Chains A and B, each alone.
Chain A
Amino acid sequence: MFSRSTNISVMEKNWHVYFLLPALLIITAVSIFPFLFSVYLSFQQYNPVRITQPSKFVGLGNFVTILKDPIVWNSLRTTLSFVVFAVSIEFIFGFAIALLFNKEIPGKNIIRGILLIPMVLTPVIVGLIWKYLLNDTFGVINIFSKRLEINFAWYNSVGTALITMVLIDVWQWTPFIFLILLSGLVSLPMDVYESAKIDGASSWGLFYYLTLPLMKRVILIAIILRSVDAIRIFDKIWVLTRGGPSRATEVLSILIFKEGFLYFNLGYAAALSFFFLAIVVVLSFLFIRIAKFEV
């Protein structure tokens, strides 16, 4: 009897350990450990395909190459342009739709459900569908735009490929921002608006001086969440252009993937992914700083 109650109390006392263990084990094994391995890799030049000396210790050599490589900087520029353009357009578009939906519209819930759909679709399929829609010869949208005298090369030309990717991302992810902003709009206090209207405020005034400031926190969260997701884009671009005509759409994920699994420079790819990680961390810190400052 005595030993039995001791056993129970030990398990009870540390119950949280048992609860946490399974999740922690998996996360450590699949995230933490590989991460550390990646650090080790980034200091090597590791190319398993090379028969003579597949791995060679180069210290910071990879990182030096990265900082000097114009392809890397091009990729960084491409990635950041993509994120900035995509998120801005999604924000403006999403906010507009949210404002629209804040009014009384019959069938609001059904339509909101419909707008959910682009977000849940497989990115590979989204890429496929748009590759078909914008195809040079038989793509519906392309043919339609040509009839309107607009000759847009979509994903086939260096100048327009990235914009095309932005458009596709806007198509898929505007509803995300729309949903977040709508939930924010819905929870705004009505009485402030009532008294402002009584005082004769215009619609624009109401928006600019009331809605925007009140929504600051939600807006920031929407933009941060969307940006963190946008920066990792891979599937859609891989399926559409694989990095685009002359690296026009070669975002960082694509570059890392290519270096690692097309050219098998695994050490360099590991170093690149650190570079990428560092950028994401810096951007996240910046965002959090701004968020704390504003809110």
Chain B
Amino acid sequence: MKLKKQKALRKLGGYILIYLAVAAIVCFFMFPIFWELLTSFKSAKEVVSTSPSFIFRPTLASWSYLSEINIFHNFKNTLIVASCSTIIATLFGALAAYAIIRSSFKGRKLMVFEILTLRMVPPVAFVVPIFILWSKLNLINTYQGLILMYTAFNLPFSIWLMIGYFKSVPTQIGEAAMIDGCSHSGVFWRIVLPIAKPGLAAVAVFCMMFSWNEFMFATLLTRLETATLTVETARRIMIRTYINWSGLAGISIFTISVPLIFAIIIQKQLVKGISMGAVK
């Protein structure tokens, strides 16, 4: 009797420990964002006070600051660049991935290897030549320039993911359709692509997030008119004199809201995409 009670108590203790651990982990990862969210509702004085607190009187000062500096201009820029490069990269990537999987040709393996290595290359390696080339081609401070850049970076990833996805689509459907007289591109557009919608969605989300969060190329290839959110934010942190932490809090929550919303909506696909990419 006593032994049973002891065992039950130990189990309870175990459960409590696990819950505590999980709670601690969640707190650890969520605290910075939570605090920044809190900060965005504080007044400028409270933001830089030496005794910060959880309890305060909320104000919308930092949020009205957003419209003062016309952050929506940057938001629009980021949106345009990110969505265009996402659409193009997803589409072209799916096309290329399908061709790689469903046909055999000389140099196919080399191509796959090339695409894989491109993903491994650090972007810094391209920064110098791209900057010079883009300047000469008058692509600086244009939407096209940045879109082209992001599309090129999203493509290897898109192709890689779509290859993995297409592999799981059975060939019988396509073959049956082709016997009935359907062309390769017919099979692609009318049969395979609709089936692959979840995969396309996952790729699109990944590309969108990457393009939204990118900084290094954006800062080099844009100027005032086309500056993206990341560039504008970084510019405001780099000011050597007075950093407007209150305003920055509003800007940060505003900026991360988009990838955050995407992440929450497409949770399952994100997890799948990451683990699939790993477990191959």
Binding site for B on A (CB under 8 A): 8, 12, 15-20, 22-24, 26-27, 29-31, 33-35, 37-38, 41, 97, 100, 103, 105, 111-118, 120-133, 137-138, 140, 143, 171, 174-176, 179-180, 182-184, 187, 218, 221-222, 225, 228, 231-232, 234-235, 238-239, 242, 252-253, 256-257, 260-261, 266, 269-270, 273-274, 276-277, 280, 284
| Contact of A235 with B215 in the complex, beta carbons under 8 Å | yes
| Contact of B271 with A121 in the complex, beta carbons under 8 Å | no
Contact with A along B103-117 (1 / 0, CB 8 A): 101000001000101
Q: Which of A17, A22, A132 contacts B39 (CB 8 A)?
A: A132
| Contact of B118 with A27 in the complex, beta carbons under 8 Å | yes
B88 to chain A minimum Cβ distance, whole angstroms, is: 8
| Contact of B130 with A34 in the complex, beta carbons under 8 Å | yes
**What is the size category of the interface that chain B forms with chain A?**
35 or more
Q: Which of B29, B126, B248, B249 contacts A117 (CB 8 A)?
A: B29
Known contacts A120-B209, A120-B260, A140-B52; decide if A19 and B96 are in contact (CB<8 Å). yes
Most B Cβ at <10 Å: residue of A22, A29, A30, A105: A30
Which of B2-10, B68-76, B144-152, B196-204 touches A?
B144-152
A289 to chain B minimum Cβ distance, whole angstroms, is: 15
| Contact of B124 with A138 in the complex, beta carbons under 8 Å | no
Summarize A's interface: helix, strand, loop or mixed: helix
A231 to chain B minimum Cβ distance, whole angstroms, is: 7
| Contact of B131 with A124 in the complex, beta carbons under 8 Å | no
Expressed in whole angstroms, the Cα–Cα distance for A235 and B155 within the complex equals: 22
Contact with A along B144-171 (1 / 0, CB 8 A): 0000110110011001000000000000
| Contact of A20 with B99 in the complex, beta carbons under 8 Å | yes
Tell me the B80-137 residues at the A interface (CB within 8 Å).
88, 92-93, 95-96, 98-100, 102-103, 105, 111, 115, 117-118, 120-133
Expressed in whole angstroms, the Cα–Cα distance for A31 and B121 within the complex equals: 10
| Contact of B124 with A234 in the complex, beta carbons under 8 Å | yes
Known contacts A19-B98, A123-B213; decide if A8 and B259 are in contact (CB<8 Å). no
Expressed in whole angstroms, the Cα–Cα distance for A30 and B88 within the complex equals: 14
Known contacts A116-B263, A252-B124; decide if A122 and B22 are in contact (CB<8 Å). no
Chain A residues, CB < 8 A from B185: 15, 18-19
| Contact of A232 with B52 in the complex, beta carbons under 8 Å | no
Is the C-beta of B66 less than 8 angstroms from some C-beta in chain A?
A: no
| Contact of A26 with B278 in the complex, beta carbons under 8 Å | no
Expressed in whole angstroms, the Cα–Cα distance for A173 and B256 within the complex equals: 16
| Contact of A125 with B125 in the complex, beta carbons under 8 Å | no
| Contact of A137 with B50 in the complex, beta carbons under 8 Å | yes
Contact sample, A vs B, 19 pairs, CB 8 Å cutoff: A12-B184, A15-B99, A19-B99, A23-B159, A29-B148, A30-B148, A114-B30, A120-B213, A121-B259, A126-B32, A129-B36, A138-B49, A218-B278, A232-B122, A238-B234, A256-B127, A270-B129, A280-B120, A284-B117
Chain B residues, CB < 8 A from A284: 117, 120
B279 to chain A minimum Cβ distance, whole angstroms, is: 6
* Nearest A residue (CB) for B39: A132
B96 to chain A minimum Cβ distance, whole angstroms, is: 4
| Contact of B32 with A23 in the complex, beta carbons under 8 Å | no
A62 to chain B minimum Cβ distance, whole angstroms, is: 12
Is the C-beta of B16 less than 8 angstroms from some C-beta in chain A?
A: no
| Contact of B120 with A122 in the complex, beta carbons under 8 Å | no
* Nearest B residue (CB) for A39: B129
| Contact of A128 with B237 in the complex, beta carbons under 8 Å | yes
Known contacts A218-B279, A261-B220; decide if A137 and B48 are in contact (CB<8 Å). yes
Tell me the B16-69 residues at the A interface (CB within 8 Å).
18, 21-22, 25-26, 28-30, 32-33, 35-36, 39, 47-52
Other than A22-B96, A117-B263, give 19 A-B pairs with Cβ distance below 8 A: A15-B99, A17-B99, A26-B88, A30-B126, A31-B126, A33-B133, A37-B132, A38-B128, A105-B18, A118-B29, A120-B270, A122-B230, A174-B29, A175-B29, A221-B280, A232-B122, A273-B128, A274-B125, A284-B117
A33 to chain B minimum Cβ distance, whole angstroms, is: 8
| Contact of A41 with B213 in the complex, beta carbons under 8 Å | no
Q: Which 10 pairs from chain A and chain B are nearest by CB?
A: A30-B152, A183-B275, A19-B99, A23-B96, A34-B129, A16-B99, A232-B122, A15-B184, A16-B103, A122-B213
